[in-house]
Amino acid sequence: MVSWQQAEARAAVLASGWTADEPGGVVLGFDRGGVRFVRAAGLASLEHRVPFTAATPTRLASITKHVFCAAALRDGLDLARPLGAVVQGLSPDIAAVPLRRALDMTGGLPDLAESFGLLGIPSTASIDRPTLLELARGLPGVNFTPGHSIAYSNTGYRLAEAALSSRFDELLARHFPGHGLFYPEDEAEPVPGLATGYWKDKEGHWQRGRYGLNFSASGGLACSAEALMRWAQQLMEGQGGTAGLWQQLACSGRLQDGTETGYGLGLSRVALTGPLLWGHGGSLPGYKNHMLLAPELGAGVIVLSNREETAAYGLSLAVMAALTGMTLPGPGRLPPGLFSEEDGPFWAESTGDAVLLLGAQEPLHAGDDGTMRGLQSHLPFELRPGPEGGLEGRIGHRAVRLDAVEAEAGLDHRLLGPWRGSGFGDEARLEISLSGSGAVLRLPGIAAPPVRLRPLGRGKALAVRPNPPGASRFALWLEQPDTLLLVSQRSRVLRFRRC
Phi, psi of 331 (to 5 degrees): -65, 150
Instruction: Read off the CATH number of the domain in which 246 is found.
Output: 3.40.710.10
Checking DSSP bridges between strand 268-269 and strand 278-284, what pairing results, if any? Answer: antiparallel
Is residue 387 located within the same domain as residue 463? no
**Has residue 87 been placed in a domain?**
no
Instruction: Confirm whether 287 is domain-assigned.
Output: yes
Residues 418 and 473 in one domain: yes
Same domain, 214 and 175: yes
Tell me if 155 is assigned to some domain.
no
Residues 317 and 274 both lie in one domain: yes
Please tell me whether residues 201 and 276 are part of one structural domain.
Answer: yes
CB atoms inside a 10 Å sphere around CB 393: 18
Q: Measuring CA to CA, which residue among 241, 263, 244 is closest to residue 252?
A: 263
Sheet order of strands, 337-340 included: 360-363, 354-357, 347-350, 337-340, 398-404, 391-395, 381-385, 372-373, 365-366
Task: Tell me the β-bridge partners of 300.
Answer: 30, 293
Domain count of the fold of the chain: 3
Domain boundary among 404, 433, 459: 404
List the one residue out of 375, 382, 364 whose CA is nearest residue 271: 375
Residues 387 and 446 in one domain: no
Q: Is residue 350 part of a domain?
A: yes
**Whether residues 279 and 251 fall in one domain:** yes
Which CATH number does the domain housing residue 465 bear? 2.40.128.210
Return d(Cα 303, Cα 25) in angstroms, integer.
7
The CA radius of gyration of the chain, in Å to the nearest whole number, is 22
HEC string for the chain: CCCHHHHHHHHHHHHHHCCCCCECEEEEEEECCEEEEEEEECEEECCCCEECCCCCCEECHHHHHHHHHHHHHHCCCCCCCEHHHCCCCCCHHHHCCEHHHHHCCCCCCCCHHHHHHHCCCCCCCCECHHHHHHHHHCCCCCCCCCCCCCCCCCHHHHHHHHCCCCCHHHHHHHHCCCCCCECCCCCCCCCCCCCCCEEECCCCCEEECCCCECCCCCCCCEECHHHHHHHHHHHHHCCCCCCCHHHHHCCCCECCCCCECCECCCCEECCCCCCCCEEEEEEECCEEEEEEEECCCCEEEEEEECECCCCHHHHHHHHHHHHHCCCCCCECCCCCEEEECCCCCCEEEECCCEEEECCEEEECEECCCCCEECCCCCCCEEEEECHHHCEEEEECCEEEEEEECCCCCCCCHHHCEEEEEECCCCCCEEEEEEECCEEEEECCCCCCCCEEEEECCCCEEEEEEEECCEEEEEEEEEEECCEEEEECCCCCCEEEEEC
Which residue in 303, 246, 253 sits closest to 278, CA to CA?
A: 246
Q: What is the pLDDT of residue 226?
A: 98
The C-alpha atoms of residue 405 and residue 389 are separated, in whole angstroms, by 9
From 404, 430, 462, the end of a domain falls on: 404
Q: How far apart are CA 62 and CA 378, in angstroms?
A: 13
In whole angstroms, give the CA distance from residue 78 to residue 86.
10
- What are the two backbone dihedrals, phi and then psi, of residue 26, each rounded to the nearest 5 degrees? -145, 140
Task: Let me know whether 278 and 185 are in one domain.
Answer: yes
Q: From CA 213, how far away is CA 122, in angstroms rounded? A: 9
Is 98 part of any domain?
no
Q: Which of 302, 324, 346 is the C-terminal boundary of a domain?
A: 324
CA–CA distance, 42 with 17 (Å, rounded to integer): 9
The answer as to whether 97 is a domain residue is no
Question: Which of 488, 338, 336 is CA-nearest to residue 409?
Answer: 338
Cβ atoms of 310 and 27 closer than 8 Å: no
Same domain, 358 and 471: no
Does residue 395 form part of some domain? yes
**Could you tell me if 218 and 268 lie in one domain?**
yes
CB atoms within 10 A of CB 90: 19
Give pLDDT, residue 468: 86
Assigned domain for 478 exists: yes
pLDDT at 74: 96
484 DSSP β-pair partners: 478, 496
Task: Supply the range of the domain harboring residue 362.
Answer: 337-404
Same domain? For 368 and 386 the reply is yes
**pLDDT averages per 10-residue partition of the chain, 499 residues:** 95 94 98 97 97 98 98 96 97 98 98 92 90 94 97 98 94 92 91 97 95 94 98 96 97 97 98 93 97 97 97 96 94 95 94 95 89 94 93 96 91 95 81 85 78 93 90 95 96 95
Same domain flag for 438 and 371? no
pLDDT recorded at residue 49: 97
Comparing C-alpha atoms, which of 165, 218, 91 is closest to residue 493?
Answer: 91
What is the Cα–Cα distance from 304 to 301, expressed in whole angstroms? 10
Given this model, what pLDDT does residue 232 score? 98
